[in-house]
Structure formats: C-alpha cells, structure tokens
Amino acid sequence: MTRSPFPDNFLWGAATAAYQIEGSPLADGAGPSIWQRFCHDPRLMAAPGDTGDIACDHYNRMESDVALMKQLGLQAYRFSTGWGRILPEGVGRVNQKGLDFYDRLVDTLLAHDIEPLLTLHHWDLPAALDDRGGWLNRDSADWFAEYADILYRALDGRVKKWVTLNEPWVITDGGYLHGALAPGHRNMFEAPIATHNLMRAHGRAVQAYRATGAHEIGLVVNIEPKYPASDSIEDIAATARAHAYMNRQYLEPALLGRYPDKELKEIFGPAWPQWPAEDMAEICQKLDFIGINYYTRAVVRADPAQWPQRASPVPQNATHTTTGWEVYPPAMTDMLVWFRDSFGNIPLYITENGAAFYDPPQAGPDGIDDPLRCDYLRSHISAVGEAIRQGVDVRGYMAWSLLDNLEWSLGYSKRFGIVHVDYESQQRTPKRSAHLYSEIIRTNGANLA
C-alpha cells in the first residue's frame, strides 16, 4: 500500500451553514434575514414553498447533532453564525440569547474534541440592513466589522479558525446580477458595487480581528476551473473572462490588492469603476489561510448571447450531479496547483466539497446506499491528496454537507448530506458515504491509496 499523502495533523470535518440547517429563524429575539424574506416570496424561489422555517431543526437539536459528528469521527465542524440572531437590526443592540446559542455550540463541540471553524457570513444578511441598501451601501463594511467584533470578543478564546465571508462571488452573481439568490436583484451596475463592499467588509473584519483576536482568520471562495472548449482565440478569451470573473475577482483583491481589471472591464464595461487605492489597501490584509469550496469545473466557449460574460459552459459527456454539475475530480488537483503557483504556498483548507444525488427513499439492510456520492468523495479526496503530493499546503478537508439541508432557492429537493434527514420526523441516518468518510478519517486517507 502506498503511504497516505495526508499529513498527520490533517483536519477532517464537515460543513453546514446557519440558514440551511438551523430552522427557528426568528426564535429568541432573532431578526429576519434576506433569506427569510426571499424564501417566503414564491415568485423568487425556484422551489416555491420551501423555507428555512424548520430546515433540519438544528437550533433545537444541536447537542444530538454534535454527538452524531463525534460518532462519525469528525475532527472539525465548519458552521456559520446567523448575523440577525446576534444583532436583530444588523447593528447596535446585541441579542444575548442568539449569541448564547453559538456559545453553547462551541462548548459542545469542544467537549467532544471537535474543532470549530466559524464562518461569520454565509449569505443571511439581516433584512434590516438590506432595507438600508445591503451590500450596496458603503457602510456595510462597518456593519460587518461591528458584528464580527462581537463574535471575536465572545468566542476567540475557544474558536481558533475564523472565516469572514463564504463565497462572495455567489452573493454578487446570484444576489445582485442574476437574481437567483437573495436579495434577488438583477442589475449589472449593482454587482461590481456589491463585490467591492463585500471585499471591503472582509478587509475591515480582518483588521478588527488583528486588534483583538489571537488565532487564525481567512476568506472562503468558490473556485471553478475553466477549460477552453477549443483552441480558437474566441474560446480562449471567453475562458479567460470566465476565470477572471469567477475565480480571480475575489482572490486577487484579497491577496494581491488589485482586481483583474482588464477582464472585469471587458465584462462589465462602464459598470466596472476604477476603485480608490485606499480601498484596495483596506481589502488586502494578511490572511492566515484561504478556504476553497470546490464542486465542479466548466468547459467554456464564447457565447455573445450570455450576459454579461459572453461565455457559456459546454455540456460534457460525463456523470453529472442532480444540480447539473459535471463530476471531474482532476480539476480539484489542477485548481490547487494553480492557486499555489499564482498566490504562493498559503495554507489552504477545502472548506466545502460534495455532491447532490438522488438517494433511495428508504434505507436498505446496509443503510442508505449512495454509491455516486461515495465515488465523488473518494475521487475528490484522492485529488486533494495528489495536490499535497505536488507540494500544495492543504491542511484540511470539510465535506459538504454534514446533513441534507435547504439548498437555497432550490429548496429541499437537492440532497448534499452524508447524513440523510427525514424532514417529517427529523430523523438522521448516516448514508454509506458517511461510513466511508469515517473510514477515510480513521485511516487518515490511507484507505484511498
């Protein structure tokens, strides 16, 4: 057997996000978020009627969910805090009961020897702040730093890995450009402004952390490698635009202090402004790690009809998940090597990776059999191992997701969990993929070699 490429202290865990699992969104004095509003508007949801009102009822089942994590052998748990639970109006008055929930969660994790990775913002902006313009308001950077600081002061003694934002690209592209996600806007002039204020918010939150925090802080981005469909000049240019738009737009300001302006100007034209140098300095703060969420790749061709990137994906003859994403593990390795070659050997965590597939409606004698998800995990974790062999400093892997949950506007039909959730009874049943993952953790990946 070949030796496992994973270092001994490699951190194995699973991830979730507040609005996707917690339920009870207004309990104990919490304020509503933009996702609460979005889900309750059937004109906006692709799966009308599905909301986060109950979700996985994790808010009431936190202790048993943590016990389940322990049973699976997880060493880490990445979760997000609901901004509106802590600050119902987004700023100002602190709701102690909301803070207490996360306080208890962290204590419970530590009591089970599970390391918490806390994400400060996974898309559920308080509705009260959206009423003030949300991420289009320049003050949003200060609002976010105020909220972050409350959490640092409450939890930094116990939480040692912090994340500012989850996937700012998805917030802007889904929330402000295409309208598929909250707050549901569709405006080419807004998207660059939302991007820039999100990045300023990230920078301000890192600055606030350096003033009080003693551990590590980073940013989580989603990376989807782009490959040209042909070697035509048009397809190569379209691939470069798509890559700059999705993969470089957030990493470069955070790590290099500049946007890929040439490509973003090609995409947004006059809607892409020249940003002040002081803002860029504020955004580019030293980070302790980068978290990367990887799901799929795209093979890209030029397509003038596509707004505004003039690029579109070409379907591949391959296995696809139920969210329509091609399963292509080699891109995970390519992407990690590209990151190192572009930005240096900054410590990396895979903060999300996983797949939605149809699961059998009932458990069989061996539990819930999910062979495609098992293959997905095995092949993608091996691809991470390959990047480590090539010298990339990857320090941990978080499966998405611990539980089946609300897949945002697509509702409950897409199941990403390694643990099945029966939404009627709220019963949790680990799928075969959960057992496979436990074995990967137990052997530190040696069973994949």
Q: Count other Cβ atoms within 10 Å, centred on residue 259.
A: 24
Whether 190 is catalytic: no
247 binds ligand BGC per the rule CB under 6 A: no
407 binds ligand BGC per the rule CB under 6 A: yes
- Separation of CA 235 from chain center: 29
Please say which residue, 102 or 275, places its beta carbon nearer to ligand BGC.
102
Q: Minimum CB separation from ligand BGC for residue 350, in Å?
A: 12
* Rounded to 5°, angle at Cα 352 from 141 and 21: 75
Contacts with ligand BGC, 195-224, as mask; x by CB under 6 A: ---------------------------x--
Residues 351 to 380 in contact with ligand BGC, rule: CB under 6 A? 352
Residues 6 or more apart from 107 whose CB is under 8 A from it?
158
Burial of 318 (0-12, 13-18, 19+ CB in 10 A): exposed
Structure tokens at 347: 């410590």
404 binds ligand BGC per the rule CB under 6 A: no
409 binds ligand BGC per the rule CB under 6 A: no
Q: Which of 10, 59, 357, 400 binds ligand BGC (CB under 6 A)?
A: 400
Q: Which of 108, 140, 293, 296 binds ligand BGC (CB under 6 A)?
A: 293
Cis peptide before 347 (omega within 30 of 0): no
Q: Which one of 53-61, 162-170, 327-335, 387-395 is the stretch in contact with ligand BGC (CB under 6 A)?
A: 162-170
Under DSSP, the state recorded for 288 is S
**What is the β-pairing status of strands 289-293 and 216-222?**
parallel
Judge contact between 397 and 350, C-beta under 8 A.
yes
Please say which residue, 65 or 352, places its beta carbon nearer to ligand BGC.
352
- Separation of CA 366 from chain center: 31
Which has the closest alpha carbon to 199: 229, 167, 177? 167
Question: Which amino acid belongs to residue 285?
Answer: Q
Residues 6 or more apart from 37 whose CB is under 8 A from it?
127, 130, 182, 183
Whether 352 is catalytic: yes
33 binds ligand BGC per the rule CB under 6 A: no
80 binds ligand BGC per the rule CB under 6 A: no
Judge contact between 37 and 182, C-beta under 8 A.
yes
Judge contact between 325 and 316, C-beta under 8 A.
no
Q: Which one of 96-104, 164-172, 266-274, 337-345 is the stretch in contact with ligand BGC (CB under 6 A)?
A: 164-172
Structure tokens at 13: 């865990």
285 binds ligand BGC per the rule CB under 6 A: no
Please say which residue, 4 or 80, places its beta carbon nearer to ligand BGC.
80
Contacts with ligand BGC, 117-156, as mask; x by CB under 6 A: ----------------------------------------
Choosing from 167, 266, 326, 407, the catalytic residue is 167
77 binds ligand BGC per the rule CB under 6 A: no
Catalytic residues: 167, 352
Interacting residue ranges for ligand BGC, rule: CB under 6 A = 17, 20, 166-167, 170, 222, 293, 352, 400, 407, 416
